[in-house]
Chains A and B, each alone.
Chain A
Amino acid sequence: MRNAFAQEVTAMAAKDPKLVLLSGDIGNRLFDKLRGGYPAQFMNCGVAEANMMGVAAGMALSGLRPIVYTITPFTTTRCLEQIRVDVAYHNAPVVIVGTGSGLSYASLGPTHHSLEDFAIFRAIPNIRVLAPYDAPSLRSVLREAVNSDIPTYIRIGKKGEKDLVPSEKAVGIGKTAVVREGTDICLLSVGTIGPEAITAADTLKESHGISAEVVLVNTVKPLDEVMLAGLAKRFKAIVTVEEHSKSGGFGEHVSAFLAQNGIPLPIVCLGTGDKFMHSVGSQSYARTYFGIDAPSIVTAAQNCLKGPVGATP
C-alpha cells in the first residue's frame, strides 16, 4: 500500500499543482520521483509532527491540498490537538495519512501500533475516517479525498498487501465490496484485516457448512447506515472485524446503530483488547495474540449464530 500511495501521490501531483506532500522524515527513497519531478510539492517537515499538522492546516486554508504522511501514531495521537483544532475545527481540507497502521508494525512494539485512531477520530467533528483494505482501494479513496473539500484521515498498511478487489472494481469512499457471497452470517471487515475475514469465510464454508458473506468496508465515518440496514435484513448475525481496539471502534459504531434503530440482530465485534502487547512478533502473531485472526473469526461466527447477543471473545 505504501508504494501505491507514493505512486498515486506522484501521479496526482503531476496534474494538480495544489497538491503538497508533507512528510515527517520518513519514506526514505519512497518519494524520490515526487521530489525529483515536483520539488515544490514535497516537504520534509522533520520529526516535528505537531508543527507539521499546523503547517498543513495553514496551507489548506491558503488554497493548497496538503497530504500529511508519517507512521500512524505520529500523525494521529502525537499531534491530536493540531488535528482537532487546526484541521477539524477550521474544516481545513487536509488529508492525513497514517502508514503502518494497526499492527502492521507489530515487531516495533506498542509505540508504533495504532489501535485507537478510529475511536479518537470518530468523536472529532468534520473529519472523515477511512481505512482502505488494499492498494486499489487506497488509490480510489485517496484520489477522492484529495479532490474534495473535506478533512480526511486515511489509515493504510505497509507493503505487500494482496489486492482483494481488482482495480477496475475498486469502490469509492463510503462504498463496500462483497468478496465472498453468503446467506447465514455477514463478516463486516474494515481496513487491511480483510484477508483474515476471507480465510475465515472459506473455513466456515468448507469445514462448518456455514455460508458467510464477506463485506469489505473502507469508511469508518460516516457510517453507511443504509448498507447496514440492508445487511440486517439478509443475515442472521453480523461479525465485525477490525485491527483496532474494541473500545470505540467500528464494531461499537455498528452495534450502536443496530441498537438505536431497534434491529435485534446478534453481533460480535472482534478487535483488540484493553491491553498493550509487550512481546514482539509478526503482524500475524499479533493478530493471533489479540484474537482477531481467521481462526478467531471462525469461532466468533459460530458462537454468534449459536448464542445470544453479547458473546465477546
Chain B
Amino acid sequence: MPEAPIQNDIGSLEPIAQMLRYRIIKTSHESGTPHLGSCLSCTDLLVFFYWHILNIDPQDPSNAQRDRFLLSKGHAAPALFQVLAERGFYPKSDLDGYGEDGSLFGEHPPTPSALPGIEAATGSLGHGLPMGLGMALASRISDVPYSVYAILSDGECNEGSVWEAALLAAAQNVSNLTVAIDYNKWQATGRSDEVLGLAPLAEKWRAFGWCVTEIDGHDFVQMSDAIEKNKADPRPKAIIANTIKGRGVSFMEDDNNWHYRIPTADEVKLAAQELGIEA
C-alpha cells in the first residue's frame, strides 16, 4: 500500500504554495518557459491534491493502488515539475538543467516511463480526462481500490473529448473520478466565456450528470469541503474552482499577457517580495 496521504493541516498549505510559486516564476525566467499565468492559477489546487488528498508514495511511484493524478492542462507542467520534486519523486537538483537540450523538464509532462510521478503525457488538451476515466474504470474492473483526480483548464473545455468523457463517466457512475476545473476565465487569446460560450460552466457539468461543487479555487478549506462532503456520492465529481490567472503576483493577476510572457530578473525579485519569499 502507498503511504497514507500527507494530511497536512490545511493552514500549512499556503506557505508551500507560495514557495512553489516563487520557484515556478524563477524557473520561467531562467529557462524561458511560458504559461506562468496558467501555472499560478492552479498552484493552490496542485498543493491541495499533493499535500492533502493523494494516496501516493514517491518511493513507490508505480504502486498499483496509488491514487492517480493527471494534469490534463499539461501546459502547467512547470508547476507540476516543482510539486513532484518537492514531494520527493526526484531530487530537486534534477530541475537544475530545466529546459536545456536533453532535459525532461520543459513545457509539458513527458510520459510516465520517462519521469516518475507523471501519470500521463498531457499537453494536447482534452486527453487527460479520457485517460483518467480509463484509469478510474480500470480500478473497478480490476478490483484494485484507488481514486483518480484531474485538473482541467477552462479553455480545455473547448475540446469535444472532454464532454465525450463526461458523458461516459456519468453513464458508468464512475464515482472514483474527480475533476477540478481551473476556471481562471482566460484561454490563450481571450476570455474563455467569450471564445466558446463556456458559461454557465457548473450547470453544464451538472447537466452532464456529475456531482458539482463550485468553490474559490484559492481557498484550501473550500477545496477540502468539496471533496469531503461528496465522498459518498455515486456520481463522478466536478469541482468548479474559480481561480485568478497569475494568482499571487499583483502584476500578473488576471493579465493574460502572462500566458506567454517571461519575467525579467527585476520582476522575479518583485514577485519574491509579494510572495514573502527571501530570494
A and B: interacting chains: yes
Q: Mark B147-187, 1 if CB is under 8 A from A, else 0.
A: 00000000000001100110110011000000000000000
How far, in angstroms, from A86 to B136 measured CA to CA in the complex?
A: 16
- What is the 8 Å Cβ interface bit string for chain A, positions 260-289, against chain B (1 contact, 0 not)? 000000000000000000000000000000
**Interface 9-residue window, one of B138-146, B209-217, B224-232, B240-248:** B138-146
Asked if A177 is an interface residue, CB under 8 A from chain B, the answer is no
**Which of B112, B126, B138, B172 has a CB less than 8 Å from the CB of A90?**
B112
User: In this assembly, does A110 line the interface, its C-beta being within 8 Å of a C-beta of chain B?
Assistant: no
- B112–A85 touching, CB < 8 Å: no
Asked if B78 is at the interface of the complex by the 8 Å CB criterion, the answer is no
Instruction: Determine if A85 and B142 form an interchain contact, defined as CB atoms under 8 angstroms apart.
Output: no
Chain B residue at minimum C-beta to C-beta distance from A41: B141
The verdict on B264 contacting chain A, using a C-beta distance below 8 Å, is no
A53-61, A158-166, A213-221, A301-309: which lies at the B interface? A53-61
CA distance A46 to B168 in the complex (A): 8
Asked if B32 is at the interface of the complex by the 8 Å CB criterion, the answer is no
Query: Cβ of A294 < 8 Å from any Cβ of B?
Result: no
Chain A nearest Cβ from B115, distance in angstroms: 12
Kindly specify which of B36-44, B81-89, B127-135 makes contact with the partner chain: B127-135
Set B64, B124, B133: member contacting A63, Cβ < 8 A: B64
Identify the interface centre among A18, A51, A64, A82: most chain B CB within 10 Å of its CB.
A51
Please, which residues of chain B bring their CB within 8 A of the CB of A59? 134-135, 137-138, 141
Contact A54 B64 (CB under 8 A): no
Q: Mark B242-262, 1 if CB is under 8 A from A, else 0.
A: 000000000000000000000
Q: How far is the CB of A233 from chain B (nearest CB, A)?
A: 41
Are the C-beta atoms of B137 and A82 separated by less than 8 Å? Answer: no
Contact A62 B121 (CB under 8 A): no
Contact, CB under 8 Å: B112 / A54: no
Across the two chains, which residue of chain B brings its CB closest to A79?
Answer: B161
Once the chains are docked, how many angstroms separate the CA of A45 from the CA of B167? 9
B103 within 8 A of A: no
A46-85: which residues lie under 8 A (CB-CB) from chain B?
A: 46, 48, 50-64, 66, 81-82, 85
- Chain B's closest residue to A57 (CB) is B131
Q: Let me know if B130 and A90 touch, CB within 8 A.
A: no
Distance between A59 CB and nearest chain B CB, rounded to angstroms: 4
A51 B172 Cβ-Cβ under 8 A = no
Question: Is the Cβ of B127 less than 8 Å from the Cβ of A85?
Answer: yes
| A50 and B142 contacting across the interface, CB-CB below 8 Å | no
Which chain B positions have C-beta within 8 A of A57? 130-131, 134
Task: Determine whether the beta carbon of A46 is less than 8 Å from that of B130.
Answer: no
Instruction: Known A48-B164, A90-B111, A91-B113; judge A58-B142 contact (CB<8 A).
Output: no
A55 to B124, CA, bound (A): 15
The count of chain A contact residues (Cβ–Cβ below 8 Å) is: 32
Within A162-193, the residues touching B (CB, 8 Å) are: none
Give the distance in Å from the alpha carbon of A52 to the alpha carbon of B129 in the complex: 11
**Contact of B120 with A by CB under 8 A:** yes
- Cβ-neighbour of B127 out of A40, A45, A66, A82 (below 8 A): A82
Closest to B129 in A: A54
Q: Is the pair B138, A63 in contact by a Cβ cutoff of 8 Å?
A: yes
**Residue A20 at the chain B interface, CB threshold 8 Å:** yes
Residues 84-107 of chain A: 1 if any B CB is under 8 Å from the residue's CB, otherwise 0? Answer: 011001110000000000000000
Complex alpha-carbon distance, A46 and B160, angstroms: 14
Give the residue of B113, B130, B139 whose beta carbon is less than 8 angstroms from that of A55: B130
Chain A residues near B127 (CB-CB < 8 A): 54, 81-82, 85-86
Give the residues in chain B near A48, CB-CB below 8 Å.
Answer: 164, 167-168
Instruction: Give the one of B131, B132, B134, B167 with max A CB within 10 A.
Output: B134
**A90, B119: Cα distance in complex, Å:** 10
Q: Are B168 and A45 in contact (CB under 8 A)?
A: yes
Task: List the A side residues contacting B121 at CB < 8 Å.
Answer: 85, 89-90
**Are the C-beta atoms of A85 and B124 separated by less than 8 Å?**
yes
User: CB of A43 within 8 A of chain B?
Assistant: yes
Q: Which residues of A contact B129 (CB under 8 A)?
A: 54
Given contacts A59-B134, A59-B138, A81-B124, contact A51 B111 (CB under 8 A): no
Give A41 to B138 CA distance when docked, in angstroms. Answer: 10
- Could you tell me the distance in whole angstroms from the C-beta of A88 to the nearest C-beta in chain B? 11
Q: Which of chain B's residues have a CB closer than 8 A to the CB of A20? A: 141
Q: Point out residues on A near B: beta carbons under 8 Å.
A: 17-18, 20, 40-41, 43, 45-46, 48, 50-64, 66, 81-82, 85-86, 89-91
**Sample of 22 A–B contacts (CB below 8 Å):** A41-B141, A48-B167, A50-B126, A50-B130, A50-B161, A51-B164, A51-B165, A51-B168, A52-B130, A54-B134, A54-B165, A55-B133, A58-B134, A58-B136, A59-B134, A61-B131, A63-B64, A63-B142, A64-B138, A66-B134, A82-B161, A91-B111
A-B pairs with lowest CB-CB distance, top 8: A58-B134, A54-B130, A51-B164, A62-B138, A48-B164, A55-B134, A58-B131, A50-B161
Query: 4 more A-B contacts (CB under 8 A) besides A62-B138, A86-B127?
Result: A20-B141, A58-B132, A60-B134, A63-B138
